[in-house]
Chains A and B, each alone.
Chain A
């Protein structure tokens, strides 16, 4: 009898623990939802309000940079209150995951039959879930509900809506961004160039010369042979220290699709790659490229830049904000200048960029209110995007007094105008030229003052803004790229079947080949790669891409 009592005791303790701690935390949103945001004092264009309110289940990605004011959290913040009070849509987040785990968690959630009403997907996920019949057709609701501004934003990038369309049906709302912002520029340590008396690079030959002199002539003046001409990461491609800009100088366009002799071809297997690879191989052999670049990720290259050992890199327009700003840690006079990609011959080099929509918003097939998503998009495009109203910007985007609390990160529905960076940069440059900042919005005025501080007070840290938005800064180069110095990825649909299946392997093959050739393997490796690429599924992909192109042009 005694043992039974003991066993029961253990069980009871267990059950008690389970019952007391397993209960969900009490809802706090009831008490704080009355927080006054002052929506009624704002001049907002609000779509029809749902009455009674509807519930929309969704999921959300956050990361270490998402911060909240006061007792706000992801479940109760200015955006959830705006959706609820102004649109009659109560957001119910089933889960919130860190950005790095979002896609895994979404896959898991959907595979286990828990499908949110509205959620964010990648193009490949959209294709997958569409084929599984999980996603709603948004064609009609978009036609009926989308506001002028929404249509305008989504049509600014002519490929955006096409990328969201499958079988003639609009399945997702593309989260647009500026495609041209992904174009590479050539970033060079201006202070080193000045010190060695080098003129601005205008051709690939100049780039090679600068790279050689940066490597050999100890531009950081520490008496140690520790500088390298050109920085690259092990990833080879991307936003920082990548190779695509270098290849573009040779009129090669790796990893993208472009038109050549009447059909779409894949850039990485074109003969133009060859010469560029040989040039990189030579630079590596002469110590102008980090001998260990094959194992250096972006953090390690960032270190090289901070140490003042890197003289040149191909990267996107915002690089000065990070990581190039770090070079000033050890050398306060350090500053980088952007140049358009120089060309190997007398033809202008074009920077490649990709218009691929990175993410889309989709609605669950069977959700009663698919138009709610369009209304949320309207709310964003009609009121927030482009708003000149400083009060609206303060309440919905963030206060300039608390720059680390970025309010728009609380909502999935954020579309950016593809041309915003370019238009903003142009206005700012005009204001700088005429010394009249009166026409600028708050954010631009702030940038204006920073740039002025560099020129008038000699605040060296301000070079970051000068290099991006200043006269002849990176944004002005983007403008040229958008007009006639760019090469856009011509394939912007959802991944074709063969592409989804084989491209990852082919891409790995390509990266390995390029790394090996640069590190001194025979260039025949490239020829072998081209042959293998076509055999291992490449020809199939080319065929599919061209069939897609015929249908979509």
Chain B
């Protein structure tokens, strides 16, 4: 498209390809390595022989993981979390973004609310007050503690507000002339025009839910309520030999089992790997259109 690029000497193309290709390989290598590990025999994996191709191909570790109730349960919790948390987040984001995208004439308290939300981006209460709020509100140890506290991602609201502002005012005015209310403008005019950004934000939120692990460890009162990533964290620790005793032997043996570790990590990646390509095409337009104001 850009004529300047095609006029560059061909050598630059090759250099570009080599550099970018290497970068892509560097990104892909860890995933390939984990995948190969998960399909290798324990002996080969523990001896560090596996690089990108499986050695002594076996599906044993996948069988072990699938039969492991703790893993399956955690997987289910994470799935629930994404399926429930993402719609809630998206609804709230849209409902907050619309009024904030009005100008001051239409919504006089706008600045107050902008700061009201923005301040939570700049300052946070810290871990202990956070924990106390969750406990006092009775959310602790319930599934909702994973969904409600972060249900309104303010950063996403800002992206959406900017996107709404970029949509020509005339469209809204025309709708208003035809008797459209704010609800109609939001749901019938703005949202259908905002599909790229909505797809992007949905992806942000879903991936965020899928990947978050600390809140699970912090807020759940027993390991059988951990979401997948919290569970994985407890399996993928590297023990400090200074604090090991003979009673940790069984744990050490589990932890050093690299093939099942790899299989669990890989299964945990699959949902995101599957969803990503479908939403990715919206991704760039969504981000760009939200960020450039004009």
Contact = CB atoms under 8 A, between A and B. Distances in A.
A132 interface: no
Interface in A169-203: 177, 181-182
Contact of B254 (A18, A62, A65, A104): A65
A95 B221 CA distance: 4
A125 interface: no
A6 B249 contact: no
A235 interface: yes
Contacts of A446: none
Contacts of B142: 21-22, 24
A316 B218 CA distance: 34
Most chain B beta-carbon neighbours within 10 Å: one of A64, A108, A300: A64
Given A21-B143, A21-B144, A239-B241, A98 B128 contact: no
B240 interface: yes
Contact of A318 (B217, B246, B251, B254): B246
Interface string A298-330: 111011101100000000111001110010011
A406 B250 contact: yes
A220 to B, nearest CB: 12
Given A238-B240, A238-B241, A65 B223 contact: no
Contacts of A105: 217-218
A549 to B, nearest CB: 24
A493 B263 CA distance: 45
A357 to B, nearest CB: 12
Interface string A232-272: 01010111111000000000000000000000000000000
A64 B254 contact: yes
Interface in B230-278: 233-235, 237-246, 249-256, 258
A22 B139 contact: yes
A17 B91 CA distance: 15
A547 interface: no
A302 B256 contact: yes
B217 A98 contact: yes
A430 interface: no
A94 interface: yes
A330 B56 CA distance: 14
A326 B246 CA distance: 17
A201 B40 CA distance: 39
A238 B217 CA distance: 27
A318 B222 contact: no
A508 interface: no
B63 to A, nearest CB: 18
Interface stretch (B17-25, B130-138, B201-209): B130-138
B234 A299 contact: no
Contact of B46 (A6, A235, A329): A329
A108 B128 contact: yes
B87 to A, nearest CB: 10
Contacts of A100: 233-234, 237
Interface string B88-101: 10010000000000
A298 to B, nearest CB: 5
B2 interface: no
Contacts of A112: 128, 131-132, 135
B47 A181 contact: no
B221 A96 contact: yes
Given A65-B251, A95-B221, A112-B131, A6 B48 contact: no
A41 interface: no
A241 B244 CA distance: 12
Contacts of B182: 3
B47 A299 contact: no
A453 interface: no
A240 B249 CA distance: 12
Contacts of B127: 108
A65 B247 CA distance: 11
Contact of B222 (A22, A74, A322, A323): A74
Nearest to A6: B183
Contacts of B245: 177, 181-182, 239, 358
Interface string A323-347: 1001001100000000000000000
Contacts of B48: 300, 303-304, 306-307
A303 B144 contact: no
Contacts of A95: 141, 221-222
A242 to B, nearest CB: 7
B240 A235 contact: yes
B82 to A, nearest CB: 15
B47 A329 contact: yes
A298 B238 contact: yes
Interface string A1-39: 011001000100010011001101000000000000000
A235 B91 CA distance: 49
B58 interface: no
A97 B217 contact: yes
Contacts of A3: 181-183
Interface string A91-114: 000111111110011001001111
Given A63-B234, A302-B46, A306-B46, A10 B241 contact: no
B43 interface: yes
Nearest to A112: B132
B64 to A, nearest CB: 13
A224 to B, nearest CB: 13
A322 to B, nearest CB: 5
Nearest to A66: B223
A97 B249 CA distance: 19
B133 to A, nearest CB: 10
B43 A299 contact: no
Interface in B152-180: none
A508 to B, nearest CB: 13
Nearest to A330: B47
Contact of A235 (B88, B241, B252, B255): B241
Contacts of A111: 128
Interface in B29-56: 43, 46-49
Contacts of B135: 112, 114
The 3 closest A-B CB pairs, nearest first, are A238-B241, A95-B221, A238-B242
10 contacts: A21-B143, A22-B144, A63-B251, A64-B234, A97-B221, A108-B218, A298-B239, A299-B238, A322-B253, A404-B250
Interface of B: 43, 46-49, 70, 84, 88, 91, 127-128, 131-132, 135, 138-139, 141-144, 181-183, 217-218, 221-224, 226, 233-235, 237-246, 249-256, 258
Given A302-B256, A304-B48, A358-B243, 17 more contacts: A3-B181, A3-B182, A21-B143, A22-B144, A64-B70, A100-B237, A108-B128, A181-B246, A235-B241, A239-B244, A242-B241, A299-B258, A303-B48, A321-B249, A329-B43, A358-B245, A406-B250
